A and B are shown apart, each in its own frame.
Chain A
């Protein structure tokens, strides 16, 4: 028998996450896949993996993340929501009285302040991606260690060194300098975690009132040393939810359930798109000096989405609502 589920998809810069949630808001299946710059392929692959895990009747679909428009038109989602809203909904679901959410993802980091389950304030990192997951990723690669082992090794440190965390370029030169002095690997890694936390608290979380319970989520929360560094800096206990790595997808599947309950029926395109040939085409429009880059996405032969123009004329042609 087909099991009834809601599907949540979070297409991020680094990972694409899938969640299947039952009608009681419990996660039945979850997937954490690397986007590797190919969001369409990874969406198809994810759906395929999900069909291998069982038979599903999808009652509703929600999408979030920086690739949400793309995923939304591909899956014909019921809800397309930004990451802040999705993450706060999921955090409230996991820890109902949560007041602060620290979220660090691949290319962005954010803080969400909630009061009485309503977002009261939020902030995201500004122009630069320093202090996000990709920073740790890069440094781990440079030190030739697996990102998965990062936290474990850092936790063995007894005396973390001080590393400048304001900018990745400075951090790297600082790190090399400390290495050459003979500082041990764990101390450098733990120092990096502390630098990142310092950077986060001084930039993203500047001036925000951080009250407990504090929830730490996003891909970087897998790093135990980061949790410890946060707790030391804040002097507060932080909790990492069970599904910390798929919180965006979880949040948006809850939103999908709410939306479908309101409107009655899902618009989900079905699992058939797994084998469809999805093609994208990019061209530069020369109708005005803006030279917008237009992206056209087709499923088999039919156009399913088109965007990129400032004037909006291509969006009108494809007739999609953003």
Chain B
């Protein structure tokens, strides 16, 4: 019987799930994904995680916990250092496999290839191939990886086309900036995207734009932004500001996790750029609290303001 591999539905799952899922199953594993984040996930995560980590990392622990309970044979927790040349991702991701290993008591084997594309992005491909060779012969691994990258590309293309509402159906258009693992986790983001859609707000996110365009616009920053996620957020903001009239952008909402190191810098930069260009801006800080009143009040007031500015 095929061995099972658990993939936690958190953090980089939201970027690379199609690739991972396809590749691992092509290599002969049965993949199991944890269920969407719930209160239970957060409870598990908070009790297990190292104090001082951000909410998304705590949530990650919760997902790991669920998979361990389910009795998977392996956990797929890559050690991600860098996904693009001369860029880094949050340092907490580098320590993830070790942090998890230190806090789960049950013996579960970790599959954690080291993804490091600092020097060249070809290195990432090499790493994946080498990882695969542990489980299958050359020709099979190459085909498996080829198929997986194709699925990943298709997924990214689909994201680009996706927009919740047509322009003429929407009352306002708002850019929502933040890490994908905040935006697309309904529990962490307290249903932000659905709330906006219900209020007839067209939402544009960093995922909808071509990476090279976003990168080009990120280069306009006075200093090189070396965090991939922050780069994407700031590049998108600059891009949206350039196309403000075409896209009919009324404002931006910036989503940040409380205790996030990179967000403390990027959300401040977003605020400064938005202020300079007179673009209404709202920062939402997300944490463990389940009371939604504070969030709802801010969104409601913000949308009221945008509407009054637009139609006054």
Indicate whether A289 sits within 8 Å of B298 (C-beta atoms), given known contacts A120-B309, A126-B285: no
Contact with A along B177-188 (1 / 0, CB 8 A): 000000000110
Smallest Cβ distance from A101 to chain B, in angstroms?
Answer: 12
User: How far, in Å, is B282 (CB) from chain A's closest CB?
Assistant: 9
How long is the Cα–Cα vector from A124 to B296 in the complex, in angstroms?
13
Is the CB–CB distance between A119 and B38 below 8 Å? no
Q: How many residues of B sit at the interface, in one of the four size bands? A: 20 to 34
Q: Which residues of chain B are near A289, meaning CB under 8 Å?
A: 35, 38-41
Residues on B with beta carbons closer than 8 Å to the beta carbon of A82: 296-297, 300-301, 304
Chain A binding surface SS class: loop
How would residues 281 to 312 of chain B score, 1 for a CB under 8 Å from any chain A CB and 0 otherwise?
A: 00101010100011011101110110011001
Q: Report the separation of the CA atoms of residues A238 and B120 in the bound assembly, to the nearest whole angstrom.
A: 59
Cβ–Cβ < 8 Å partners of A116 in chain B: 312
Q: Within A74-95, which residues are at the interface with B (CB < 8 Å)?
A: 81-85
Closest Cβ–Cβ distance, residue A310 to chain B (whole Å)? 7
A82 to B275, CA, bound (A): 24
| Residues of chain A with a CB closer than 8 A to B294's CB | 108, 124
The answer to whether the Cβ of B96 comes within 8 Å of any Cβ in the partner chain is: no
- B298 and A127 within 8 A (CB): no
Interface residues on chain A, size class = 20 to 34
> Counting CB contacts under 8 A, is B227 at the interface?
no
- Chain A residues with CB under 8 A of B296: 82
Chain B window 251-272, contacts with chain A (Cβ cutoff 8 Å), 1 for yes, 0 for no = 0000000100000000000011
Q: Is B191 at the interface (CB under 8 A from chain A)?
A: yes
Are A127 and B297 neighbours in the complex by a CB distance under 8 Å? no
User: Would A127 and B287 count as touching, CB distance under 8 A?
Assistant: yes
Judge whether B280 is part of the interface by a CB distance below 8 angstroms: yes
Interface residue from B38, B258, B304 paired with A127 (Cβ < 8 Å): B258
Q: Cβ of B293: which chain A residues have Cβ within 8 Å of it?
A: 66
Interface string of A202-242 (1 = CB under 8 A from B): 00000100000000000000000000000000000000000
Q: Would you call A118 and B309 a contact (CB within 8 A)? A: yes
A108 to B298, CA, bound (A): 12
Within A105-163, which residues are at the interface with B (CB < 8 Å)?
108, 116, 118-122, 124, 126-127
A-B contacts, 12 listed (Cβ < 8 Å): A66-B297, A81-B304, A85-B300, A119-B305, A120-B305, A122-B302, A122-B305, A207-B272, A207-B275, A289-B35, A289-B41, A310-B186
